[in-house]
């Protein structure tokens, strides 16, 4: 068994929230799938609501409070990220975007990401494809092919298209990416600076 660390980021606002409920279902399914591949996964869940003020402060001052910095650093080290947002006015919530604006542009490069969202009706489901997926494309993450949208009605419907089936399909795809990922230790520019001769040569 090898260890895998999955960070769940959820931007739900109410307590309890359906966004958190979806995030927990996805995480549990991913852990199961990883276990079947022979990986022992740990899950850390970040409720963005807990960091809402720190995120606003960071947007204004340019630096993160110690608590927020810990979360931002933690996501950069994750083997995989499950990112779940409510859909507001045709896109991810502002809180969700503000958090990923606080992440360095290269922090999630090559990181497997499972994207998911909640909304009142299924008419909002393509926001995952036109808003959330491009965000992680910009961050050069590897986004699982299946994105999971849960409308209010999904919590009470069955059949082949039922939510649980989609959750497991997405989690299996995500787990395959997380399980097969090999990570090179990133170069730390403070511990291992570019020698000045190289900077001078203009390369």
Partner 1 sequence: MQFGIFTVGDVTSDPTTKTVPTEAERIKAMVTIAEKAEEVGLDVFASGEHHNRPFVPSSPTTMLGYIAARTSRIILSTATTLITTNDPVKIAEDYAMLQHLADGRVDLMMGRGNTGPVYPWFGKDIRQGIPLAVENYQLLRRLWREDVVDWEGRFRTPLESFTSTPRPLDGVPPFVWHGSIRSPEIAEQAAYYGDGFFANHIFWPTNHFQRLIDLYRRRFEHYGHGSADQAIVGLGGQVFMRKRSQDAVAEFRPYFDNAPVYGNGPSLEEFTEGTPLTVGSPQEVIDKTLTFREKFGDYQRQLFLMDHAGLPLKTVLEQLDLLGEEVVPVLRAEFDRLRPAHVPEAPTHAGLRAAATGTLEEGTDLVEAAR
Binding-site ranges for partner 1 (CB under 8 A): 56-57, 59-63, 65-66, 189-190, 193-196, 199-200, 202
Q: Decide whether 60 or 184 has the Cβ nearer to partner 1.
A: 60
Q: Decide whether 4 or 58 has the Cβ nearer to partner 1.
A: 58
User: Minimal distance in Å, beta carbon 76 to partner 1?
Assistant: 15
Classify residue 142 as exposed, middle or buried by CB count within 10 Å of its CB (0-12, 13-18, 19+).
middle
User: Minimal distance in Å, beta carbon 57 to partner 1?
Assistant: 4
User: Minimal distance in Å, beta carbon 141 to partner 1?
Assistant: 23
- Tokens 């960091």 belong to 51
User: Minimal distance in Å, beta carbon 60 to partner 1?
Assistant: 4
Q: What is the DSSP string of 163-187?
A: HHHHHHHHHHHHHHHHHH---PPPP
Who contacts 107 (Cβ-Cβ below 8 Å, separation ≥6)?
72, 75, 76, 139
Q: Decide whether 184 or 197 has the Cβ nearer to partner 1.
A: 197
Q: Decide whether 107 or 132 has the Cβ nearer to partner 1.
A: 107
Q: Are strands 91-92 and 80-88 parallel, antiparallel or unpaired?
A: antiparallel
Q: Decide whether 182 or 190 has the Cβ nearer to partner 1.
A: 190
d(CA 13, CA 104): 24
- Report the number of secondary-structure helices (H) and strands (E) in the chain: 8, 7
d(CA 153, CA 14): 18
User: Minimal distance in Å, beta carbon 51 to partner 1?
Assistant: 13
């Amino acid at each position: 068994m090898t260890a895998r660390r999955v960070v769940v980021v959820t931007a739900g606002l109410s307590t309890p929230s359906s966004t958190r409920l979806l995030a927990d279902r996805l995480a549990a399914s991913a852990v199961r799938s990883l276990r079947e591949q022979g990986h022992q996964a740990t899950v850390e869940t970040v409720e963005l609501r807990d960091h809402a003020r720190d995120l606003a402060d960071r947007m204004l001052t340019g630096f993160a409070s110690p608590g927020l910095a810990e979360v931002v650093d933690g996501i950069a080290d994750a083997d995989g990220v499950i990112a779940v947002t409510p859909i507001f006015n045709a896109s991810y919530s502002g809180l969700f975007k503000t958090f990923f604006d606080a992440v360095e542009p290269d922090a999630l490069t090559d990181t497997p990401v499972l994207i998911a969202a909640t909304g009142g009706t299924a008419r909002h489901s393509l926001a995952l494809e036109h808003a959330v997926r491009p965000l992680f494309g910009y961050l050069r993450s590897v986004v699982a092919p299946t994105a999971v949208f849960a409308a209010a009605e999904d919590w009470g419907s069955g059949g082949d298209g039922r939510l649980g089936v989609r959750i497991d399909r997405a989690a299996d795809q995500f787990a395959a990416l997380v399980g097969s990922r090999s990570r090179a230790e990133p170069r730390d520019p403070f511990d291992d600076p570019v020698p000045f001769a190289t900077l001078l040569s203009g390369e």
